[in-house]
Amino acid sequence: MSEIESDLEYLNRAVEGMSLADAIAFVTTHIKGKKVFSTSFGIEDQLLTHYVAPHNNINVFTLDTGRQFNETYEVFQKTQQKYPQLAIETYYPLEEDIREYTKNSGINGFYDSIEKRKSCCYIRKVKPLQRALSGASLWITGLRAEQSANRNTMRFLEWDENHKLIKFNPLLHYKLEEVEEEVKRLDIPVNSLYYKGYLSIGCAPCTRALAPGEDFRAGRWWWEDGKKECGLHIHADKNF
């Protein structure tokens, strides 16, 4: 077993059963180097923001794709007002990438094919994420196991080979109802679209409300069939 595998085994055993606050404090104290938390202002990220805010050793960032809902900017503003001590850094796509994409594919070319949609996600989300994660040793995310089938094999802490860092998923075993209850109890701002059926909120042209009984991810890239991911969370924890 490699040193990093051994360390991850120790950390995963240690945080099992800890409260959210204790787990975040324990992991961020144990892991040295730059620690970052990515928020898209979804309900899970909003809950984590509440617990990350007291820690001045965690850098918080968001990705602005340029195609966000206005409601997302509204909850961004409310979050800054509730947690004034929190500096949320925004990463944008490169202007030349957007110019090249729209020249070759059109402003809404992502509707034409999966390849064009993934290309749009790459320049608007994946490349800015790479800049945001540069030099980081720990990446805190709001992923939950029940969100999709390919996420139910995750662990609290895992090695992300794609970005060469440790990914920490403190909400891993939370059920959606638990997130909703805690957010309400703590009076945490929530995107108003959430209560209109937008359980997973991405770019405005690529997100719709869910119908009753639909899968959590069904509203994302709703014109496509099959597995739906944008490339931000490639599950590669076994590739040490």
Kindly state whether residue 60 falls inside one of the protein's structural domains: yes
What's the pLDDT at 2? 82
The answer to whether residue 214 scores a pLDDT higher than 50 is yes
Can you tell me whether residue 66 is helix, strand or coil?
A: coil
**pLDDT value at position 225?**
83
8 Å CB contact between 154 and 172: yes
pLDDT tens column, 93-152: 999 999 999 999 999 999 999 999 999 999 999 999 999 999 999 999 999 998 866 656
What pLDDT, on the 0 to 100 scale, is given for residue 29?
A: 96
Sheet of strand 136-140: strand arrangement: 88-91, 58-63, 34-38, 136-140, 165-168, 157-160
Cβ atoms of 68 and 204 within 8 Å: the answer is yes
Task: Tell whether the model's pLDDT for residue 11 goes beyond 70.
Answer: yes
> Percent of the chain at pLDDT above 90?
84
Q: What is the pLDDT of residue 238?
A: 33
Check residue 40 and give its pLDDT: 97
Which one of the listed residues 121, 203, 206, 230 is annotated catalytic?
230
Residue 38 confidence class, pLDDT cut points 50, 70, 90: very high
Encoded tokens for 171? 């909400």
Residue 87 falls within a domain, yes or no? yes
Residue 221 lies in a domain: no
Is residue 233 assigned to a domain?
no
Q: Give the number of domains in the chain.
A: 1
**CATH number for the domain that contains residue 98:** 3.40.50.620
Average pLDDT over residues 221-229: 77
Residue 205 within a domain? no
Q: What's the whole-number mean pLDDT along residues 185-197?
A: 97
Q: How open is the CA angle 112-125-117, to the nearest 5 degrees?
A: 10
Mean pLDDT of the region 166-179: 96
List pLDDT tens digits, range 150-171.
656 789 999 999 999 999 999 9
Average pLDDT of the residues in 17-34: 97
Residue 75 has pLDDT above 70, yes or no: yes
Please tell me the predicted confidence (pLDDT) of residue 235. Answer: 43
Q: Which residue has the higher pLDDT, 215 or 129?
A: 129
- Domain of residue 170: give its range: 3-195
**Residue 152 in domain:** yes
120 noted as active-site residue: no
